[in-house]
């Protein structure tokens, strides 16, 4: 396990084989055809649909739900994919309870929205399982585009560019394409190798080549890419992990929650993954929740999320917070790490209580300790490896319009680009829009 040793309290195989299979099974199995029709019939098919406005990719939600209601889920899938080519994964991981479903008229009137995410999954899975790709490549333009990063933004950009008839090469440092979808999503949200199946299906459009093991600064330069291509898309995500800035951070078994999730995603036999008895996760976002919940599912006895502000400030949705507590994760608010304590390896972690003030967050003198044989950092990620010459603002690559950077011929999209939220669905939208802007720029 990343930065961990099999020290006392940390062990693999804490549970029985049946427990692992059950714990990491699909958390929200898709509808069958009858269930989908019943769920679709709840939709009012609003003319000025607020759900569509709330969707970062602007999917025509009333249309695709009507298509499901009339027994044509393949048509519904094409409606979805025309705006969001990664609609299958987004149906699984998108925080619909904060976006489309939150503004659903049924939610406002009755407290129970149309289950848009599950309907989207029904439609997209139905089409993908037939091996059908609903789009064809456009007439060849002779233009060559480099996309750096095979995550949601990069894949979305590459697909749209291929549809326009351009030749696209995707460069990615990891062994598999998919980015966050492959390495950063809780296993129970996307079991069964769906992330790779989706990548393979997307590439059926043709005209896209993926080169793994290639990263900026390690065999690739921005100048070289610009020289060999007509345009470049940077979709490099956020590779760095913020530091705790607490004494003892360098002790063994203090690890990145991102690395923990990635290792768990790539391990088919969850019984082989060691986990502590007392796990403390520091942070308040989706990564913190995913790491904490999966620690519990691996057999950790005590799992605690500690966040420096109140529950309303957590970026993880209320739904995700409730899911965490439902599996036995404790959440402590208004506390910040002061130091990790241990003899070579983490044993405890000390926190100071915090309070919001007119001058920002302040630490109080009062402290407390938690037992912790594993400490996971989930306090945000940072941009690394920015090529020289690119303007950076707010810790991200500065962009204007549909992803144009300060360097002519270079666009940026996804988590590495300024503006927008760090969501899969937002990254897809930004990649798509950058591709449209590139096409207009090259062909206009």
Distance between start and end Cα atoms, the chain: 51
pLDDT, residue 2, reads 46
Q: Of the candidates 253, 254, 234, which has an alpha carbon nearest to the alpha carbon of residue 244?
A: 254
pTM for the structure as a whole: 0.95
pLDDT, residue 112, reads 95
Q: Of the candidates 5, 33, 63, 11, which has an alpha carbon nearest to the alpha carbon of residue 277?
A: 11
Structure tokens at 180: 């966050």
157-178: buried (b, 16+ CB within 10 Å) or exposed (e) per residue? bbbbbbbbbbbbbbbbbbebbb
Domain residue ranges of the chain, discontinuous segments joined by +: 10-22+242-377, 33-128, 144-239+383-443
CATH code at 33-128: 1.10.1060.10
Distance CA 194, CA 201 (A): 10
| 8 Å CB contact between 411 and 438 | yes
Q: Of the candidates 135, 161, 138, which has an alpha carbon nearest to the alpha carbon of residue 77?
A: 135
Fold of 144-239+383-443: FAD/NAD(P)-binding domain (3.50.50)
pLDDT, residue 420, reads 77
pLDDT, residue 286, reads 95
Cross-strand partners of 10: 276
Name residues whose C-beta falls within 8 Å of residue 72's C-beta, 6 or more positions apart in sequence.
none
Distance CA 18, CA 24 (A): 10
pLDDT, residue 3, reads 44
CATH code at 10-22+242-377: 3.50.50.60
Kindly state the helix (H) or strand (E) to which residue 233 belongs, with its residue range. Answer: strand 231-234
User: pLDDT by residue for the chain (444 residues), tens digit each?
Assistant: 444 444 678 999 999 989 999 999 999 889 999 999 999 999 999 989 999 999 999 999 999 999 999 999 999 999 999 999 999 999 999 999 999 999 999 998 999 999 999 999 999 999 999 998 999 999 999 999 999 999 999 999 999 999 999 999 999 999 999 999 999 999 999 999 999 999 999 999 999 999 999 999 888 999 999 999 999 999 999 988 899 999 999 999 999 999 999 999 999 999 999 999 999 999 999 999 999 999 999 999 999 999 999 999 999 999 999 999 999 999 999 999 999 999 999 999 999 999 988 888 999 999 999 999 999 999 999 998 888 899 999 999 999 999 999 999 999 999 999 987 889 999 999 999 999 999 999 998
| 8 Å CB contact between 151 and 170 | no
pLDDT per residue as tens digits for the range 231-264: 999 999 998 889 999 999 999 999 999 999 999 9
């Amino acid at each position: 396990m990343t930065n961990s040793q099999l020290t006392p309290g940390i062990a693999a195989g804490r549970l029985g084989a049946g427990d692992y299979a059950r714990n990491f099974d699909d958390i929200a199995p898709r509808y069958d055809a009858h269930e989908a029709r019943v769920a679709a019939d709840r939709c009012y098919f609003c003319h000025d649909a607020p759900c569509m406005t709330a969707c970062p990719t602007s999917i025509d939600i009333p249309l695709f739900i009507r298509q499901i209601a009339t027994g044509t889920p393949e048509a519904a899938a094409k409606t979805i994919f025309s705006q969001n080519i990664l609609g299958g994964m987004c149906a699984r991981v998108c925080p619909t309870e904060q976006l489309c479903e939150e503004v659903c008229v049924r939610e406002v009137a009755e407290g129970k929205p149309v289950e848009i995410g599950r309907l989207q999954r029904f439609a997209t899975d139905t089409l993908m399982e037939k091996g059908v790709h609903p789009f064809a490549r456009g007439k060849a333009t002779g233009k060559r585009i480099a996309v750096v990063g095979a995550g949601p933004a990069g894949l979305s950009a590459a697909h749209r560019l291929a549809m326009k008839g351009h030749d696209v090469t995707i460069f990615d440092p990891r062994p598999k394409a998919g980015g966050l979808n492959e390495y950063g999503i809780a296993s129970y949200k996307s079991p069964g190798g769906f992330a790779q199946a989706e990548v393979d299906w997307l590439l059926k459009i043709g005209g896209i080549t993926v080169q793994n093991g290639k990263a900026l600064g390690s065999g690739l330069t921005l100048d070289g890419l610009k020289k060999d291509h007509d345009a470049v898309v940077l979709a490099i995500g956020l590779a760095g992990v913020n530091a705790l800035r607490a004494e003892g951070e360098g002790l063994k078994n203090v690890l990145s929650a991102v690395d923990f999730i990635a290792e768990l995603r790539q391990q088919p036999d969850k019984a082989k993954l060691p986990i502590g008895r007392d796990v403390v996760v520091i942070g308040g976002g989706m990564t913190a929740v995913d790491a904490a919940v999966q620690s519990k599912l691996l057999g950790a006895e005590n799992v605690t999320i500690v966040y420096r502000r109140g529950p309303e400030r957590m970026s993880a949705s209320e739904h995700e917070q409730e899911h965490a507590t439902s599996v036995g994760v404790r959440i402590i608010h208004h506390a910040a790490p002061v130091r990790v304590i241990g003899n070579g390896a983490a044993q405890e972690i000390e926190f100071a209580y915090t309070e919001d003030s007119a001058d920002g967050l302040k630490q109080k003198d009062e402290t407390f300790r938690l037992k912790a044989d594993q400490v996971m950092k989930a306090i945000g990620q940072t941009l690394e490896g920015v090529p020289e010459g690119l303007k950076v603002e707010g810790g991200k690559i500065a962009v204007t319009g549909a992803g144009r950077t300060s360097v002519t011929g270079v666009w940026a999209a996804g988590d590495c680009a300024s503006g927008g939220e760090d969501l899969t669905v937002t990254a897809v939208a930004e990649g798509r829009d950058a591709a449209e802007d590139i096409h207009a720029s090259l062909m206009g």
